[in-house]
Amino acid sequence: MSQINEAGKDLHPYVLPSSWKRSLDGLTNETTSLRYLVRGPKRSGKSTFGRTLVNNLLRKYVIPRLRSRPMHVLIKQNRHKSVAYLECDIGQSEFTPGGMVALNIITQPIFGPPYTHPSTPVHAHFIGSFTPLSSPSTYLAAIESLIEFYSLNHELDEDTGLPIPLVVNTMGWTKGLGGDLIRRIEDYVRPTTIFSFDSDATLDKNCRLLESAGGQEGGGYTAADFRNMMIMSYFHATSSSTWDTSVSLRSRPPYEVTITEAIDEVILIGNGSEDVVASEIGRVMNGALVALCSPTNTSMLSSDGIPYVQGSTLPIPPPPCHGLAVLRSLSLDEQHLHILTPISPTLLPECRLLVKGEIQLPIWGFVHYKKKLEEVEEPYLQWSRSNALGGEKRRVRRNLMRRGQA
């Protein structure tokens, strides 16, 4: 085994900046509330630092070091056997697909980008978008609900009576409305320590300034690529560290659901959702990616088909979300659904509310990857070239100059 000293296209060494080390070395094992909040702009290294912080708070973790042969292993002891992780960055979530705020309880060290360790949250709320721009009130209400859930259920360890630390990861939108939302989150959390990558932010005795260390895991992939990989990792995962990719999603046997017996309500959220009329709901839901939620309203909508009312919205706070599902097909008479979901079958009876947002399954999630696209007809996709006006690929010219610039 040889030591890797240089970064490659798909491999980036983990480098611990000096300011990170000083801040982490200063963590104390207090017996009072421990709430840590990480904030800063995009691509500053918040997610990487969040993972490092969690690993430092856990009771035991192992780091392989290739200083010489044989391999040395460093084992560090801390007091906490679990750490609560509150994800507020719905565009780049650490343990779940994007579009939801989630509270996870972490008991093992975490390494690698998010799609390498999908996890089932103890409580979550679906926002339906990768940004809170269209529904800031729902976003804040969901976060406040999760903080209350943590305070009531997971702030103290039942066996030891010691605090379970809370790590809160915020989004990279720090200006304007985004900055206002982060300040509201800080008011909700009341952090004992703030780790900030923003040198312009107001610093106090509880705030520790960190140097930016972004780009350690980019590998040439965009934020959208990471979101898509997380969605597909979620649907193929069989546990937090194993996946079944032997068959594509379209080749997996689905659950068959009788709509009138199993579904109480369907709600559409996001831009343009209020314009969908009841007669078109079947087209909208066919092949859609939806959240499986527990309804907070006990009354059922009476309907012979899909229980949908145009313009209906989520209550505040939004209902608990158990996971995501793909509506693989919808019968022509709108009486039956074929659903693909990785969540436990024991939870399915509670998922009587379907919520569709702006999030979609990536195109490569629809295809049968063991066959050439030209050899198979894929559902919901058309591969033939369109001859309609505007059907060709749009060409954008960026070399045009204004008068006097020639």
Which helix or strand (DSSP H or E) is residue 262 part of?
helix 259-262
Q: For 301-322, give the DSSP string.
A: PP-SS--B-TT----SSPPBEE
**CA gap 9, 16 in Å, rounded:** 20
How many distinct helices (H) and strands (E) make up the chain? 7, 15
pLDDT at 71 > cutoff 50: no
Please compute the mean of the pLDDT values over residues 355-381 and round it to a whole number: 76
Mean pLDDT lowest among 12-26, 34-48, 110-124: 12-26
C-alpha pair distances (Å), 195 with each of 160, 210, 287 = 27, 7, 41
Domain boundaries, the chain: 29-236, 249-365
Tell me which of 3.40.50.300, 3.30.365.10, 3.40.50.2300, 3.30.450.20 is the CATH number of domain 29-236: 3.40.50.300
Q: Which residue has the tokens 């509270």?
A: 103
Mean pLDDT of the chain: 84
CB–CB of 164/156 below 8 Å? yes
Residue 384 confidence (pLDDT): 61
What one-character DSSP code corresponds to residue 43?
A: T
For residue 207, list its beta bridge partners.
194
Domain 249-365 has CATH 3.20.20.140: no
What one-character DSSP code corresponds to residue 394?
A: P
Q: Which tokens go with 140?
A: 């804040």
Q: For 169-223, give the DSSP string.
A: EPPS--STHHHHHHHHHHHHH--SEEEE--TTS---TTEEE------SS-TT--H
CB–CB of 184/190 below 8 Å? no
Residue 7 CB coordination number (10 Å) = 13
**CA gap 211, 287 in Å, rounded:** 44
Q: Which residue has the tokens 């070239």?
A: 385
3 state SS for 277-303: CHHHHHHHHCCCEEEEECCCCCCCCCC
Residue 10 CB coordination number (10 Å) = 10
**CA gap 348, 293 in Å, rounded:** 9
Model pTM greater than 0.95?
no
Region for residue 71 given its phi and psi (left: phi exceeds 0; alpha: psi -120 to 50; beta: otherwise): beta
**CA gap 90, 102 in Å, rounded:** 9
Cα atoms found within 13 Å of the Cα of residue 387, Cβ hemisphere only = 0
What percent of the chain lies above the pLDDT cut of 70? Answer: 77
Residue 2 confidence (pLDDT): 53
Which one has a higher pLDDT value, 75 or 20? 20
For residue 60, list its beta bridge partners.
77
- Reported as a single tens digit per residue, the pLDDT across 102-153 is 999 999 999 888 999 999 999 999 999 999 998 999 999 999 999 999 999 9
pLDDT at 68 > cutoff 60: no
pLDDT band at residue 226 using 50, 70 and 90 as cut-offs: very high
Residue 213 CB coordination number (10 Å) = 20
Q: Which tokens go with 149?
A: 């859930």
Residue 3 confidence (pLDDT): 58
Mean pLDDT lowest among 174-183, 193-202, 217-226: 217-226
**CA gap 274, 160 in Å, rounded:** 50
Domains 29-236 and 249-365 share a fold: no
Phi, psi of 156 (to 5 degrees): -120, 140
pLDDT band at residue 25 using 50, 70 and 90 as cut-offs: confident
CB–CB of 69/75 below 8 Å? no
Residue 1 confidence (pLDDT): 46
Which one has a higher pLDDT value, 59 or 190? 190
Contacts of 360 (CB under 8 A, 6+ apart): 288, 289
Residue 387 confidence (pLDDT): 65
CA angle 302–312–124, rounded 5-degree value: 100
pLDDT band at residue 290 using 50, 70 and 90 as cut-offs: very high
Residue 404 confidence (pLDDT): 58
**CA gap 194, 212 in Å, rounded:** 15
